[in-house]
Amino acid sequence: MKELGKTGQGLAHLLGINKARVSEIIGGRRGVKAEEVTTIASYLEMTEADVLARLAGRPSLSGPGPGVAEAAAPPLVPPRRMDAFTPRTAELPPQSSMHLDLPVYGTAVGGEDADFEMNGEVIDRVRRPPGLANAKNAFALYVVGASMTPRYDEGDLIFVHPGRPPVPGCEVVVELHAVDEFGRNKALLKTYRGTTPTRVMLSQFNPPREFDIPNAEVKQVLRVLRSNELLGI
C-alpha cells in the first residue's frame, strides 16, 4: 500500500470493515475471507493469485505492478518432499450457477442478554453458496454487535444450515425461548463448546468469556457454515 500511495483506511472502506480490521490482517491476527480477496487484489493492483501467495508468506507469482518496486521477498519455504501434500487452489463457481433465492432474515439489536432478535422478516435474498445448494430451510443473517470480532464483524453476512449438527469449535446461532414485547425470539451468535444433559456451553471473543445456558431456555442451536463448508469442500 505504501508503494502505491494507498492507505489502510481506503482498503477498509472498500471492504466495508473497520480500519482496525485491516491492521489485524496486515499483522496476521485476522484471516481474509474468500469474498475479500477480489477487492484486495483490485485495490493493490495485483492478481488474486498474488494476494493468496502473499498471505501464505510466498513471493508474488507475477511480480509488482507497473512502476512499483518489488518488496523484499519473504524467506522461501524449504523444498517439499515429492510425496508431500500440495494444496490446490479452490475455484469459486460462477455467480450464474448460484441461485438468488437464499433468504436473509431481518434482525433487531437485542438487549444485554442477546446479540440480536429474530423477527422472521425476509429483508433480502442472496445467492446460494454451493455448500447450501440442497439445504432445506437454510438462511442468512447480518451480524449485529461485536461479541464475535475478529471472527465476525458487525454487518457481516453469515449463512446458517439448520440441518447440520453443531460440533465443538464451530459458530452457532442459539435461538432462545425468551421473547421481547413484540414476540420476537432472542438469539445469540457464539462459538459452540458442547452440550451437557442440562446446559449448552458457549464462548465469545469480545470480551473473551465462556458461559453456559440451561437447556430449558434454548429453543434451537443452528450451525453457521465457514468458508470451506460454503464452498462445499
Tens of pLDDT, residue by residue over 168-205, are 999 999 989 887 777 778 888 999 999 999 999 999 98
Name the segment(s) of the chain with CATH classification 2.10.109.10. 95-230
At the topology level, CATH places domain 95-230 in Umud Fragment, subunit A (2.10.109)
Q: Whole-angstrom Cα distance, residue 135 to residue 61?
A: 38
At 108 the pLDDT is 62
Provide the CATH topology of domain 1-89.
434 Repressor (Amino-terminal Domain) (1.10.260)
Q: How far apart are CA 62 and CA 53, in angstroms?
A: 10
Half-sphere exposure of 203 (CA within 13 A, CB side): 11
Q: Is the peptide bond before 150 cis (omega within 30 degrees of 0)?
A: yes
- CATH 1.10.260 residue ranges of the chain are 1-89
Q: What is the pLDDT of residue 113?
A: 64
**What's the pLDDT tens digit per position in 27-79?**
878 888 887 888 888 888 888 888 887 777 665 555 544 444 444 444 444 55
Higher pLDDT, residue 95 or 24:
24
